[in-house]
Structure 1
Amino acid sequence: MRRLLVLAMALTLTACSQAPAVRQAEQQPQAGFPVTIENCGRKLTFDKPPAKVVTGYQPALETLLALGLGDRIAGRTNFSESAFLPGHKELYDKIPEISDTIMLPQKEVMLAQGADFVLDNAMAGFDSAGGHATVDELNAAGAPVYILGGWCSPEQVLEFTIDKTFADLRDLGAIFGVPDRADKLISELQGELADVKKRVAGRTPVKVLATDGGKGPVNAYGGAGLTHQMITLAGGVNVLADVKGDYTEVSAEKISAAQPDAVLVSDYATLRGEKTPSSPAKAAETLAIARNSPAAKDNRFLALPVAAQHPGYRNILAVTEIARFLHPNAFTQ
């Protein structure tokens, strides 16, 4: 009995002597932290990598998956009928759904998630008028918000450049403590862009009309923003380059006179839970208006996933897809 008492006392003393060391180790900051990032005019500081993330529309989820951070995502919105990148649908299905539309859920549901980070690519999901938790409310709850591509206002949407996609990857790599992963992905994507540039160099730019359908006015993409830039990088020239704005309405007369060689059509199955016209139907509408154009005569259109027309990892993949469509001969070897 005495031996047992002595042993118990020794173990207790040992545990007590080790406890402060354990607590001290737990309190030591992780290498590379704290990290401070600027986004939408706000400074976001992270003492450790986020572990319970909520993502909004598809490009936010795709971007984290591309960085190998799927295990950090605790909740996502619904875009089940969208076009998924290879391997992403299986990962998507494993993540709890917190909204049955592409939008983040209402305020009470959102705050109840207990998230420590929120990633999206538009400010619409944080509008109090729509019943959503605001950026400030989420920040106060310990869930700082990061908006991809700097799409923080309508003006900033127009100012988007593809470099911001790389900046986002670099920021997220720092926030999650995986800068090496981010650098590797950035290098791969920059190499892909360089390959496209080399392949289309010296070829006659293809005249492109990017549309989201409509019988007049037509929803189309003007000479600013992401879609316009992807067309240019892919070896095309936007026939609506003189139209101010990104996503905007354009008259049927202007579409008829544009004479595109090819048409890009925004393709998505659901938007806020509502069915939308198929991309072939939207292409038919547009080509009927531009019926005397080379694009109409050849019925030449590409269904471009609308997820690629929002900031995120997929932007660079879309440039390659568009370039293959516009200049197929450049990719024969």
Structure 2
Amino acid sequence: MKKLNTIKTILSGLFIITMLVGCGQEASTSQPGAPTGSEAEKAEEAQAEVKEESVNETVEIENNDHFLVFTEPPQRAVTLNQHVTEVMLALRLEEFMVGTAYLDDEVLPEFKDAYESIPVLSDRYPSQEVFLAEEPDFAYAGWASAFREDNIGTVEQLQEFGINAYLHESSTIIGPTIEDIYTDIRNISRIFHVEERGEELIASMKEELEKIKNDIPEVTEKKRVFVFDSGDTAPFTVAQNFLNSLITLAGAENIFSDVDKNWAEVSWEEVVDRDPEVIVIVDYGETTVEEKKELLLRHPALENVTAIENENFIVISLSAAAEGVRAPYALDILVNGLYK
């Protein structure tokens, strides 16, 4: 009898301990402010995927004459310029972003929720002080202007702070192609050890581009296109940047593709001499599309230009024209504007 009572006492004690442990676990998973439901699962899955895809080997990247070494994937990235922000979001890396800056327009709808989870450090480039306050370990810029001393600092200065800085190569080389964008995507995928995601993104872009290219009609003569970015006394236009490549993919001809620069300031007389049939207006900044159209339509030198006589305009946002994941979207705009 005494033995039976002892067993009962032990079993009662075990039951009480089990109850206390269960209650403690329940309390810890319902702390105020903790992610719950699908949101928490999604964040955990993203982190787990990167860990699974990560390998314990150093990644070395040569980027615009700089040599970057990553002993592990960045954990606190900041993106500067919209097209590179969207590359990160397309690779589902928002969990590793502690800041972003310089949005030209709305992000793509499929990235909206992810984008809203990331702090916006500045409408344009943040100061170095604001940037460093986020304790970043990686900076990713679309344009070289981000890495100036009067913005977040030069690549060399950032390296002194222990921050690797990657500049989107397809936005800096003269005459970039879609393959150069794929190279940037692959580099970022390697840096974060998500190569499989990078290849999936590239395959998806290729598929979309092929579908659009199949709808381009065969033409005997290519349409002459002038890209108007900005400028009153002298127009600022596309020479050999990625928008030039897109115009070529669309089966047309950029009238200033012979200029050995990505962007160039030309003269109105040259525009008249080359007589474009279509004008592509780049939409961004404080000057509206309508204001740009009005300037072109009222410019006395342009009144006999074919595109002006027919009021033949195509509008494309800077974020679409830049070297990023919107390439299929941008090509579709051009093809529709040129042929439909």
| TM bracket (short chain) | 0.7 to 0.9
Matches within 5 A, 1:48-127: 48-79=72-103, 82-101=105-124, 103=125, 105-127=126-148
What's 1:256 paired with?
272
What's 1:133 paired with?
153
Q: Distance in 1 between matches of 2:111 and 2:298?
A: 36
Pick from 193, 197, 208 the counterpart of residue 209 of structure 2: 193
Q: Distance in 1 between matches of 2:151 and 2:206?
A: 39
Q: Structure 1 residues 41 and 245, CA, compared in 2 at 3 Å: closer, same or farther? A: closer
Is 1:279 paired with 2:300? no
Q: For 1:168, give the aligned amino acid.
A: D
Q: Distance in 1 between matches of 2:160 and 2:320?
A: 32
Q: CA deviation at 1:44?
A: 1.7
Which of structures 1 and 2 has the bigger CA Rg? Answer: 2
Greater shift, 174-183 or 201-210, is seen at 201-210
Is 1:294 paired with 2:311? no
Q: TM-score when scaled to structure 2? A: 0.77
Q: Distance in 2 between matches of 1:55 and 1:145?
A: 10
CA RMSD of aligned residues (A): 2.4
Q: Distance in 2 between matches of 1:125 and 1:89?
A: 24
Q: CA deviation at 1:30?
A: 4.3
Q: CA deviation at 1:78?
A: 4.1
Is 1:210 paired with 2:234? no
Pick from 127, 144, 148 the counterpart of residue 164 of structure 2: 144
Matches within 5 A, 1:160-179: 160-179=176-195
Q: Describe the SS at the equivalent of 2:121.
A: coil
Q: Which blocks of at least 5 consecutive residues in structure 1 are unaligned?
A: 1-28, 270-275, 329-333
Q: Distance in 2 between matches of 1:169 and 1:32?
A: 21
Equivalenced residues, count: 287
What's 1:31 paired with?
55
Q: CA deviation at 1:135?
A: 1.0
Q: Structure 1 residues 194 and 131, CA, compared in 2 at 3 Å: closer, same or farther? A: closer
Q: Structure 1 residues 30 and 252, CA, compared in 2 at 3 Å: closer, same or farther? A: closer
What's 1:182 paired with?
198
Greater shift, 229-238 or 318-327, is seen at 318-327
> What stretches of structure 1 move > 4 A for 4+ residues in a row?
none
What's 2:28 paired with?
none
- C-alpha contact 1:76 1:95 (8 A) present in aligned 2: yes
Q: Distance in 1 between matches of 2:216 and 2:231?
A: 31
Q: Distance in 1 between matches of 2:151 and 2:101?
A: 16
Q: Which blocks of at least 5 consecutive residues in structure 2 are unaligned?
A: 1-52
Q: Describe the SS at the equivalent of 1:139.
A: helix
Q: CA deviation at 1:92?
A: 2.7
Q: Distance in 1 between matches of 2:339 and 2:207?
A: 19
Q: Describe the SS at the equivalent of 1:209.
A: strand
Q: Distance in 2 between matches of 1:61 and 1:151?
A: 14
Q: Distance in 2 between matches of 1:113 and 1:246?
A: 33
- C-alpha contact 1:214 1:286 (8 A) present in aligned 2: no
- C-alpha contact 1:216 1:250 (8 A) present in aligned 2: no
Q: Structure 1 residues 30 and 231, CA, compared in 2 at 3 Å: closer, same or farther? A: closer
Q: Distance in 1 between matches of 2:265 and 2:89?
A: 34
Q: Distance in 2 between matches of 1:32 and 1:151?
A: 31
